[in-house]
Structure 1
Amino acid sequence: MTSQTTIKEASSGGDAGPAPATGLRGHPWLTLFAVAIGVMMVALDSTIVAIANPAIQKDLGASLADVQWITNGYLLALAVALITAGKLGDRFGHRQTFLIGVTGFAAASAIIGFSGSISLVVTFRVLQGLFGALLMPAALGLLRATFPAERLNMAIGIWGMVIGASTAGGPILGGVLVEHASWQSVFFINVPVGAIALVFGLLILLDHRAANAPRSFDFPGIALLSTAMAALVWGIIKAGDSWGFDSVSTWAFIGGALVLFALFAFWETRAREPLIPLGMFRSVPLSAGTVLMVLMAFAFMGGLFFVTFYLQGVRGLSPVDSGLHLLPLTGMMIVSSPLAGFLITKVGPRVPLVGGMVCTATAMFGLLGLTENTSTLAMSLWFALLGFGLAPVMVGATEVIVGNAPLELSGVAGGLQQAAMQVGGALGTAVLGAVMSAKVQSEFAGNWKAAGIPVPPDPRLEQAAEFGTVPEELAKAPGMTPELTAVIGRVIHDTFMSGLVVVFAVAGGVAVVAALVALLTKRGVNAEAGAGVGHI
C-alpha cells in the first residue's frame, strides 16, 4: 500500500483531523456517498428477506425454525463478527475491509439465489452476514476519520438515515421482486448494487487507520462470545420449535450461554488486547445507546417477522400488496429520518430517542387490535406511528455510541453499534418465534375441538398455524369439502391471531423498557482519552 492511500491518525489517540483529499479520492461527501451504497445493501437485506420468507417457506418446504434461521443465521453472523471486523479495519485499514466486505456480500447473495435447499440458503446467509460485518463498521470508521469534527454528527446522521430508509424500503422492494420475479431475486439484486459500491469504493475511498490500533486479536474472546450468542439463540428457537420451555435441553443451552457470557466478560478484563474493551462501558451514554439498539431491534425486527405472515397468510395478500400495506411504516421512516437527524443535531439525542420509543411502544400496543378484517386505514395509522417512532432511534443511537467512543476505537464502536442491532433482531425473532410457537401449541388442539371438526388434527396443520397460512393442498385432501376447509382455515387463522396478540404485547413491553433506557443517553463527547479503556 502506498503512502498516498494510507493516512494514520495521531498515535496519541487524539484526532489528527480529516485527511487531505486529492481529487475524488478522500473527498468527505463523496466518501459518504460511496460507503452509503454498501451500507444500503446490508441494511436492505435485514428486511427485504422478511417479505420473501413466506415464498421461501412454501417453495423449500421449511419449518418455522428453518425460516427463523434464514433471518437469525444472517443476524447472528453479523452480530458475532461485527466487533472483530471493526478491529480488522482499525488494524489493516477501513478501506480494505470495506471493499472485501462489499465483494463477498454480493458473491454470497448470488450463491443464495442459486441454492435449492433450505440448508444451503441458511449456510450462505451466514456467510453473507460475515461479509456484511466487514463493511458496516468500516463505513463508520471511514466517516469518523474523513469528516471534520464540526460536520461529523451531520455525516453520521445521514449515514443513519440511509440505514433507516434502506431498512424501511426492504418490504416494498421485496414484494415487487417476489411477486414479479421470484424469491431468489431479492438476493440477486445485491449483485449489481455490490458492483456499483465496489467501483465507487475503489475510485473514492482513502484508507484510514489509527497508529495505536490493536496489533493482535482476541481469539479466545471471539470464541467465547460467538459460542455464547449461538447457544442462546439456538436454545430459544428450539424451545419454540420442539423442546418447549420446560425442557432440560432448553435451559441447558440458555444456562450454558449465560455462563459463557460471564466467562467472556472475565476474560476481557485479562486479555492484552480484548475484543471489547470493557472500559468503553464506563460511559453511561454509550452503554445506554448499546442497550437501546438491542431493545429497539428486538421489538421492530421480531414484530416485522410476523407482520409479513399476517398480511400474506391471514389477509391473503400478494407479496406486492403486503409491501404496499407496509408503505405507511416504511414511508414514515424515510420521511422522518432527516427530520430526526435535524432535531437530534439541534437538541441532542435524548428527547427524540425517548419520544421515538414511546411512539414505537404505542404502535405495538395498538397492533394488538389487529383482526382478519381490520381496515387498511386503521392498520396504516399504527404502521405509520411505528415508522415515526423508529426513525429517531435508527439515526440517534449511532451518534450516541460512536460519538462517545475514543477515536482509536472507532471501528470497535461502529461494530458494537451494529452488533447490538443484529443481536436484538436475532433475539427478537427467536424469542417472539418461541412465544408464537408456545401459544399455538397451547391453543390449537382446543380450537380444533371447539370447531367440532370430526377428524383428529394433522400435526402439519398445527405447524401451518404458526405461519397463519392455510396449505393449498388442504382442499385436495380425501374427504375434504369446501365447508370443512373453511372451518379448518378459521382454526388456523384464529390460533395464529392469538399468538400474534402475545407477540405484539411482548414487543410493546420491550419498547417501553427501551424508552426508559433512552433517558440515559446524551450527545457524543468524542472522548479521546485512552486511559482505562483496555481493562477494568
Structure 2
Amino acid sequence: MTSQTTVDKASREPRKAAAPVPAKGLRGHPWLTLFSVAIGVMMVALDGTIVAIANPAIQQDLNASLADVQWITNGYMLALAVSLITAGKLGDRFGHRQTFLIGVVGFAAASGAIGLSDSVALVIVFRVLQGLFGALLMPAALGLLRATFPAEKLNMAIGIWGMVIGASTAGGPILGGVLVEHVNWQSVFFINVPVGVIALVLGLVILKDHRAENAPRSFDIGGIVLLSQAMFCLIWALIKGSEWGWGDYKTLGFLGAAVALFVVFALSQKNVREPLIPLAMFRSVPLSAGAVLMVLMAFAFMGGLFFVTFYLQNVHGLSPVDSGLHLLPLTGMMIVASPLAGAMITKFGPRVPLVGGMVCTAVAMFGMSRLEIGTGTLTMSIWFGLLGLGLAPVMVGATEVIVGNAPMELSGVAGGLQQAAMQVGGSLGTAVLGAVMASQVDSKLADNWEAAQLPPLSPQQLDQASSAVEVGIPPVGGNVPPEIAGKIAGVAHDTFVSGMSTAFMVAGVVAVAAALVATLTKRGANAEAGAGAGHI
C-alpha cells in the first residue's frame, strides 16, 4: 500500500509542476488551455454533421453522382477512424502541443481547399486530408487536458470538452442549414479557416508542451500498418454493408479480414519493445469497460440520431434549419448537463453518473420508439431533452475512465482509443439500425401498399420504393394524381415510422447493456500506477 501511494504521489508531480504560475504569463494555464483546445475540437466535431446538410448542394453544383457524395462523408470517416490511435501515439512521442497545432493548421487548410475545389474528386481528396488532420487534433486535445489539469479538476474540464463536442455535433445541422440556405455550400468549409486561425494563435500563446519522463522513443511501424488495415476493413464493411448486403461475400470478407488483422495485431504487440498499444493497458477493467461503454453509447446515440433527421425532414416536412431547431432540447441539455456531470463525477466517482446516464438514454430511446407521424413538438422535445441529459455524463465519464486509467505516457493513445471507440460505435449503430430499418420496410411495405389499395408494384418498383421509404421519402412519381400521392405518402410514412420504432427499441436495449457495463467503471485514481504494467 505504501509503494502504491508513493507511485501515485510521484506520478502526480509532473502534473503539479506543469501548473502555471500567474507571474510567468498565460502559457500552460489550465482553463485557458481548455478554451484553446475547445476551439480546435469544435471544428472537427462540427464537420461530423454540418457537411451532411451541404451534400445535396455539392452534388448539384459539381454534377456529382450519389456514390461521389457518399465518398465525401465516407472518405472523411475512414481517414479519421483509421488514424486516431496512431495520431495519439504521435502526440505521446513528439508532444501533444505540436500534434494539436499541426492538426489545426492542416484541418483549416484542407477546409479552405475544399471550398476552392471545382470538382468532386478534389473535394473527396481534401476531405480525406481533413480526416487525417482531425485525427491528429482530437487525441492531442485530451492529452493536453490530462497533462494540464490536476486530478481533482480533470472531470470538470472533460465535462466542458464533452459539452463542446456534443453541442457542435448537434448544432452542425442548424449552422449548416443557415450557411447553405443563405450563403453557399463552400461557406460550410470556409468557416473553418478563421476558426483555425484563432485556434492556432491561442495555441501558440497558451499551450504548453507536456511529455512524460518515460514517453515512447520509437514507433511500431508494423503495428501501425496492421491496426490501420484492420480499422479500414471494419469501417469499410460497416459503411458498405447495407449496399452490398450483410450476407454478401464482400461484406463478410472485409469483416473476416478485420478480425484476422486485429488478431495478428494483438499477437504482434507482445513482441515489440515499444508497442503501439501496450495490451497491458486492457488489464485495467475500468479502462476496458470505458472503451466498450463508449462504443455502445455511440451505437445508440449516432445510430438513433441518424433516423431522427430523416423523421423530422421527410416525415414532418421540416427544413434543415427547422430540424436543427427541433433538436435544441438535445443540444441545450448536453450544454447544461456536461459540466454538471463533470462536477458529479469528481465528487461521487463515475460509476453512478454513468449508470444513471445510460438508464436515461435507454428510457429516451424507448420513448422515441413511440413517436408517430403526428407526434407534436412538445413530446419530441421531452425525449430529445432526456437523451441529452443521459448522454452528457456518459460522454464525460467514459472519456475520463479511459484517459484517466491509462498511464500518463500513453494519454495520447488513450485519447485516440476513446475517439476510435466513438467512430466504431457510431458506424456500427448506423449500419445495424439501418439494417433493422431495411428489414422492417422489406417485410411491411408490400402489405401496407396493398392494404391501401394502391396500384400493384413490380419487384423492381418495390425495391426502388423500399429504398426511398427507408429514409422516409414517399416514392411518388411526377404524374401521380394528388389523391394517390397522398395515399402513397401515408403508406411510406407509416412504414418508415414502424421501422424507426423497431430501430429505437434495439438502440434502447443496447443502452441497457451499456448501463450494465458502466457498473464496472471507476475513477482513474491509479492511472499512473499502471505505467509500469504498460511496458510489461
What is the TM-score with the length of structure 1 in the denominator?
0.89
Residues 42, 463 of structure 1: CA spacing in aligned structure 2 closer, same or farther, 3 A cutoff? same
CA distance in 2, matches of 1:69, 1:56: 12
Deviation at 1:446, TM superposition (A): 4.3
Q: Is the 8 A contact 2:101 2:137 kept in 1?
A: yes
CA RMSD of aligned residues (A): 2.7
Q: After the TM superposition, which residues 415-434 of structure 1 pair with which residues of structure 2 at under 5 Å, given as runs?
A: 415-434=416-435
TM alignment of 1:197-208, pairs within 5 A: 197-208=199-210
**Matches of residues 9-408 of structure 1 in structure 2 within 5 Å?**
15-16=13-14, 17-19=16-18, 20=20, 22-52=24-54, 63=66, 70-115=72-117, 120-241=122-243, 243-408=244-409
- C-alpha separation between the residues in 2 aligned to 1:170 and 1:25? 31
Secondary structure of the 2:210 match is strand
* CA–CA distance in structure 2, aligned partners of residues 52 and 388 of structure 1: 29
Match of 1:462 among 459, 466, 485: 466
SS state at 1:208 partner: coil
TM-aligned CA deviation for residue 409 of structure 1 = 1.1
Q: Does 1:490 align with 2:490?
A: yes
Tell me, yes or no, if the aligned pair for 1:66 and 1:118 is still in contact at 8 Å: yes
Tell me which amino acid in the other structure corresponds to 1:337.
S
Distance 2:149 2:288 in 1: 25
- TM-superposed deviation, 1:300: 0.7
Counterpart of 1:18 in 2: which secondary structure?
helix
The equivalent residue for 1:4 is none
Equivalent position amino acid for 1:234 in 2: W
Pairwise CA distance, 1:356: 0.5
Determine the C-alpha separation between the residues in 1 that align with 2:89 and 2:271: 18
Code of the residue aligned with 1:172 in structure 2: it is I
Amino acid at match of 1:516: L
Q: 1:183 to 1:505 in 2, by over 3 A?
A: farther
1: CA distance, partners of 2:528 / 2:184: 49
CA contact (8 A) 1:291 1:517 kept: yes
Q: 1:367: Cα distance to partner?
A: 1.0
SS at match of 2:413: helix
Post-superposition Cα deviations, 1:458-481, rounded to whole Å, max 9, x if no partner, equal: 75443222221247xx553xx432
Deviation at 1:400, TM superposition (A): 1.1
User: 1:3 matched to which residue of 2?
Assistant: none
Spell out, residue by residue over 1:407-441, the C-alpha distance to the aligned partner (whole angstroms, 9 max, x if none): 11111112212221122122222322333334334
Partner in structure 2 of residue 8 of structure 1: none
- CA drift of 1:442 comes to 4.1
The DSSP-based 3-state class of the residue aligned with 2:219 is coil
Partner of 1:435: 436
Deviation (angstroms), 1:506: 1.9
Asked if 2 retains the 8 angstrom alpha-carbon contact of 1:436 and 1:502, the reply is yes
Residues 191/322 of structure 1: CA separation in 2 closer, same or farther (3 Å cut) = same
Bigger drift between 175-184 and 129-138 goes to 175-184
For residue 210 of structure 1, give the secondary structure of its aligned residue in structure 2.
coil
The 2-side partners of 1:135 and 1:380 are apart by 33
Equivalent residue letter for 2:508: G
Shift of 1:295: 0.9
CA distance in 2, matches of 1:61, 1:85: 32
Contact 1:328 1:387 in 2 (8 A): yes
State the Cα deviation string for residues 80-132 of structure 1 (Å, max 9, x = none).
Answer: 21211111111112111111101111122233344566665444333212111
Return the alpha-carbon distance in structure 2 between the equivalents of residues 343 and 57 of structure 1.
Answer: 46
Q: Distance in 1 between matches of 2:351 and 2:57?
A: 40
Tell me which amino acid in the other structure corresponds to 1:196: I
Letter matched to residue 326 of structure 1: L
Bigger CA drift: 300-309 or 150-159?
150-159
- Secondary structure of residue in 1 paired with 2:247: coil
Q: Which letter does structure 2 place at the counterpart of 1:220?
A: G
The CA distance in 2 between the partners of 1:184 and 1:470, in whole Å, is: 30
Contact persistence 1:367–1:379 (CA under 8 A): yes
Shift of 1:325: 0.8
Q: Percent identity?
A: 73
Q: Distance in 1 between matches of 2:435 and 2:502?
A: 11
How far apart, CA to CA, are the structure 1 residues paired with 2:193 and 2:125?
A: 18
- Per the alignment, residue 481 of structure 1 pairs with 481
Cα shift readout 1:52-80 (whole Å, capped 9, x = no counterpart):
566667776765x7766554543332222
Distance of aligned partners of 1:18 and 1:31 in 2 relative to their CA distance in 1, 3 Å threshold: farther
Runs of 5+ consecutive residues of structure 1 not aligned to the other structure = 1-11
Q: Which amino acid aligns with 1:188?
A: F
Contact 1:350–1:518, Cα closer than 8 Å, also in 2: yes
Q: Which amino acid aligns with 1:525?
A: A
**Relative to structure 1, is the Cα distance of residues 237 and 443 closer, same or farther in structure 2, using a 3 angstrom cutoff?**
farther
Q: Which runs of 5+ in 2 are unaligned?
A: 1-9
Flag the 1:492–1:119 CA change in 2: closer, same or farther, 3 A: farther
| CA gap 1:534/1:450 in 2 versus in 1, 3 angstroms | farther
Who is 1:512 aligned against? 512
Separation in 2, partners of 1:155, 1:125: 30
Deviates more, 1:408-417 or 1:281-290: 408-417
Q: How many residues align?
A: 519
Aligned with 1:274: secondary structure? Answer: coil
- Alpha carbons of structure 1 residues 339 and 139: separation in structure 2 relative to 1, 3 Å: same
Q: CA deviation at 1:283?
A: 0.9
TM-score, structure 2 as length reference: 0.89
Contact 1:50 1:308 in 2 (8 A): no
Work out the CA distance in 1 between the residues paired with 2:348 and 2:533: 30
CA distance in 1, matches of 2:488, 2:220: 55
Assess if the C-alpha contact under 8 Å between 1:172 and 1:326 holds in 2: no
Task: Give the C-alpha shift of residue 332 in structure 1.
Answer: 1.0
Residue in 2 aligned with 1:5? Answer: none
Q: Decide whether aligned partners of structure 1 residues 500 and 122 sit closer, same or farther in structure 2, where only a CA change above 3 A counts.
A: farther
Distance 2:56 2:326 in 1: 16
Counterpart amino acid of 1:379?
M
Q: Work out whether residues 51 and 308 of structure 1, in 8 Å CA contact, stay in contact via their aligned partners in 2.
A: no
